[in-house]
Amino acid sequence: MPATDTITLLGAVTYTGLLVWVSITLVMTVVYCIEVLAAVFLPKRQIQCSEERAPMVVLIPAHNEEAGLAETLKASQKGLYPFDRILVVADNCTDNTASVARRNGAEVIERNDPDHRGKGFALDFGVRQLEQNPPGCVVILDADCVPEASALDRIRRVAGHLGRPVQARYLMSQSEDTIAQKVSVFTFRLKNWIRLLGVCNLHGPSLLTGSGMAFPWNVLAKADLAHGHLVEDMKLGLDLASQGTPPIFCDEAIILSPLPHSVEGATTQRSRWVRGHLSLMGVALSRLPKHLAQGRWSAAGLAASVLVPPLTILIFLQGAAVLSALILTALLKLPLLPLGIAFGTLLAFLVATLPAWWVYGRDVIPARNLFGLVAHVVVRIVKFPTAVFRPKRAGWARTERDADSSEN
């Protein structure tokens, strides 16, 4: 083959590959932008709830949570009625989690199974226990979360009215006044509040985010919980949408959890979420064509949301697309289309994110901190491969926090 033909073929292959890459990044970013801009500019959707209250069980899976469990239980009890219960599953614990739970008024079941460790197995164990006397509604709450006074009752009544799972607004709170924690709080808001609110305003389904989730008993009893997936909540949301009961977002119910104090704890938490999300993207991608072909728009919309990667990776992909398009276009004299798509994708991301920060993030990251924000994001992008691909630990992936709470 003549050298000129080889160069032409190389250019054509490179151009096609580059065009595919920037197009994939564009699609991910378009989904993100639609969700974010819908939260900022569309009227807030009002979610109806029932005036009747089905008996509720607050199910709390806990692994070595003696330090903060008492605060969670006391806050949860404020929203309960006499016919409601709290059930703590003390899963493979080596501390005083069970005794702390009992002292603070919760029912406790203890589980010891070293071969099947993790939140999903603990939840399944709790649900199987409830089969003996099933409640009308089950609310799943993490052991380090503090619900606002009316939050649990609100999502119970929405679930009862709609007969669907309900996700509360589950956010992180700062434990230190650092730029790293400010960035974490805002990115968590983007993921667990702003994007979910936007989809809700579009009358779409909600991802499940791990805590503050209410389920009608007949929905949860049939769910596949007994597995060790790193983001079992997101997988559960996809499964339920595929089965015809897509979750819905309730912005009026607020659940808070503190960020880890230590850098190591924050890195472990973030890398766990990222790894789990990436592993679930393949599941969502495999289901999306089938949902579209069958006209199951709620399930398809939820799968599309999962295909938007975590923010650090999305920004990394956008930056890499711009850089590679610049270099390859200059070296091989390629057409400008991929470069234009790459720059347009990055611009669209900024156009969507800035209004979201203005409306939902200025209280966390004031304008004077924006330069620090950019620098911190760059550092995260540089470090993310080593953080994400560190060796995985089987079973419970508990976030270590400072043990500064009393057991009570």
pLDDT, mean of residues 118-134: 94
Q: Which amino acid belongs to residue 65?
A: E
Q: What pLDDT shows up at residue 38?
A: 98
| Whether residue 243 has pLDDT greater than 70 | yes
Please, what is the angle between helix 370-388 and helix 311-332, to 10°?
Answer: 90
| Whether residue 1 has pLDDT greater than 90 | no
Question: What pLDDT band is residue 164 in, cutting at 50, 70 and 90?
Answer: very high
Q: What pLDDT shows up at residue 380?
A: 72
pLDDT, mean of residues 323-345: 94
Q: What are phi and psi of 206, to 5 degrees?
A: -110, 145
Tokens 């990251």 sit on residue: 365
Answer whether 0.85 is exceeded by the pTM: yes
Per-residue burial over 40-61, b = 16 or more CB atoms within 10 Å of its CB, e = otherwise = beeeebebebeeebbbbbbbbb
Tokens 């330069």 sit on residue: 371
pLDDT in tens, 137-147: 999 999 999 99
pLDDT in tens, 380-397: 777 666 655 555 555 665
Q: Structural domain boundaries of the chain?
A: 15-48+146-389, 55-135
CATH architecture of structural domain 55-135: 3-Layer(aba) Sandwich (3.40)
Q: What pLDDT shows up at residue 41?
A: 97
pLDDT in tens, 246-280: 999 999 999 999 988 666 666 666 677 788 888 88
pLDDT in tens, 336-347: 999 999 999 999
pLDDT, mean of residues 364-393: 72
Tokens 């109806």 sit on residue: 48
pLDDT, mean of residues 84-108: 97
